[in-house]
Amino acid sequence: MTEIYMDHAATTPVRPEVVEVMLPYFGTEFGNASSVYGWGRRAHQALDQARDTVAELLGAASNEIIFTSGGSEGANLAIKGVAWAYQTKGKHIITSAIEHHAVLDTALWLKKHGFEVTILPVDEEGFVSPAEVEKALRPDTILVSIMHANNEVGTIQPIAEIGAIVRKHGAFFHTDAVQTAGVLDLNVEELNVDLLSLSAHKFYGPKGVGTLYVRKGVRLDPLIHGGAQERRRRAGTENVAGIVGLAKAFELAREERVAENARLTKLRDRLIEGLQTIPSSKVNGSLSQRLPNNVNVCFQYIEGESMLLNLDLRGIAASSGSACTSGSLDPSHVLLAMGLTHEIAHGSLRLTLGRDNTESDVDFVLQEIPVIVERLRKMSPLYQG
């Protein structure tokens, strides 16, 4: 059976070119980047170079780059770091209802610790309104965190516009760019952001490594205290192989971005068009401001996991809501925030395309899904077909 992977928003394979640049740092160049001798200096140089690469790709300075263990740590460091560092200035934080749990749960934890959190609603396409952000801003607002593009429905937020408003009001602005890094152009100046987090495994780099951009002048309490690494903002022996891999993967993604996005957009639209022909189906998220690889559809009367299992039996890997929370039985908080009912939200399917997907993959998926939907609907007590 051919296997078709259409869950690139969950994770991606590491590109062979990336593995190749990582390998020396497991073996001969294994030094601790903090050490003064040859092995240490060479590891340090590799870090410096990776840092320069990432900084340049973000339009940032090298000393504004912190390497982390991934997107979740990045969001936690950004939000808790600013919150603890500026708590005497204010204790109000603004975020949105469709954030990844790495942002939402962090904000809610801070709430337990005396911070005030405003969670902004979104419209039916998943957009946060810049005007709502402006209304929510208060003199004691220290941080606003709005994701760049949503991991479930692919809606791309007007980050630059929101950033300009936040700046005007003197708060800091973090964006979770885990889904856009390597896909969209990320320039921290143009985006008007003060903090930006990303994760290598979403763009064909290794798992367990990410980056937090922190604008010069923004203070952070470390999340991980200890050694003097990362200019004292993130302790721990640096994951040199992982960091070198992140930089390489980011570089490759950004080189190929424009052509690859055009290709993916075509496949995406073909998928969306095909799935829309299924009765009682609904495409979620914006059609115009959307990640080039994201398809999210609800099929009424059926439940997501049973659809995924059937797809898996046909060799198709997809997701229903966020992979991170698939241990939970709640339907996607993102779809609920967009106004879907529980019943319909339970029937969501996310297909996210990637480098390995072809037109014939799309056609195979378009052939299989209607059969599965039909089969499950026949079993469903809700369906009066």
Partner 1 sequence: MYSDKVMDHFTNPRNVGEIADADGIGEVGNARCGDIMKLWIKVDGDVITDIKFKTFGCGAAIATSSVITEMAIGKSVTEAEQITNQQVAEELHGLPAVKMHCSNLAAEALAAAIEDYRKKAAADSAS
Ligand X SMILES: Cc1ncc(COP(=O)(O)O)c(C=O)c1O
Binding footprint of partner 1 on the chain (CB under 8 A): 36, 41, 44, 301-306, 309, 313, 327-329, 331, 341-343, 346, 378-382
Q: At 5, list the tokens.
A: 């992977």
The helix (run of H) or strand (run of E) holding residue 381 is none
Cβ closest to ligand X, residue 351 vs residue 369: 351
151 binds, among partner 1, its own copies, ligand X, none (CB under 5 to 8 A by kind): ligand X
378 binds, among ligand X, partner 1, its own copies, none (CB under 5 to 8 A by kind): partner 1
φ and ψ at 118, to 5 degrees? -105, 125
Diameter of the chain measured on Cα atoms: 74
Q: At 364, list the tokens.
A: 């195979």
- DSSP assignment of 185-213 equals ---TTTTT-SEEEEEGGGGTS-TT-EEEE
Residues 35-54 as x/- pattern, contact with its own copies by CB under 8 A: xxxxxx--------------
Residues 284 and 288: their CA atoms lie apart, in Å, by: 12
Cβ closest to partner 1, residue 82 vs residue 302: 302
147 binds, among its own copies, partner 1, ligand X, none (CB under 5 to 8 A by kind): ligand X
Among 47, 143, 144, 223, binds its own copies (CB under 8 A): 223
- Residue 1 has what DSSP assignment? -
Radius of gyration of the chain (CA): 21
What is the number of other CB atoms lying within 10 angstroms of the CB of residue 144? Answer: 29
Cβ closest to its own copies, residue 156 vs residue 241: 241
Nearest to 352 by CA among 367, 362, 338, 342: 362
Cβ density class 44-75: b for 16+ within 10 Å, e for less: bebbeebbebbbbbbebeeebbbbbbbbbbbb
Residues 134 and 164: their CA atoms lie apart, in Å, by: 10
- DSSP assignment of 10-31 equals T--PPPHHHHHHHGGGTTTT--
342 binds, among its own copies, partner 1, ligand X, none (CB under 5 to 8 A by kind): partner 1
Per CB under 6 A, 102 contacts ligand X: yes
Residues 158-197 as x/- pattern, contact with its own copies by CB under 8 A: ----------------------------------------
SS3 42: helix
- Is residue 287 within 8 Å of 124, Cβ to Cβ? no
Among 97, 164, 283, 324, binds its own copies (CB under 8 A): 324
Q: How many CA atoms lie within 13 A of 15 on its CB side?
A: 21
Q: Which stretch binds ligand X (CB under 6 A): 55-63, 71-79, 307-315, 350-358?
A: 71-79
Among 178, 181, 247, 302, binds ligand X (CB under 6 A): 178
Size (the chain), residues: 385
Q: Which of 278, 324, 336, 366 is catalytic?
A: 324
For residue 193, the one-letter residue type is V
Per CB under 8 A, 63 contacts its own copies: no
341 binds, among partner 1, its own copies, ligand X, none (CB under 5 to 8 A by kind): partner 1
**Burial classification of residue 38, based on how many CB atoms lie within 10 Å of its CB (0-12 exposed, 13-18 middle, 19 or more buried):** exposed
Cβ closest to its own copies, residue 109 vs residue 383: 109
Cβ closest to its own copies, residue 23 vs residue 164: 23
Which residues partner with 318 through β-bridges?
A: none
Per CB under 6 A, 240 contacts ligand X: no
Concerning whether 298 is annotated as a catalytic residue, the answer is no
Among 60, 128, 142, 311, binds its own copies (CB under 8 A): 311
Least distance between ligand X and beta carbon 294 (Å)? 11
Q: Which stretch binds ligand X (CB under 6 A): 38-46, 57-65, 171-179, 249-257?
A: 171-179
Cβ closest to its own copies, residue 35 vs residue 341: 35
325 binds, among ligand X, partner 1, its own copies, none (CB under 5 to 8 A by kind): its own copies
Query: Active-site residue numbers?
Result: 324
* Interface positions with ligand X (CB under 6 A): 70-72, 75, 100, 102, 147, 151, 176, 178-179, 199, 201, 210, 236-237, 324
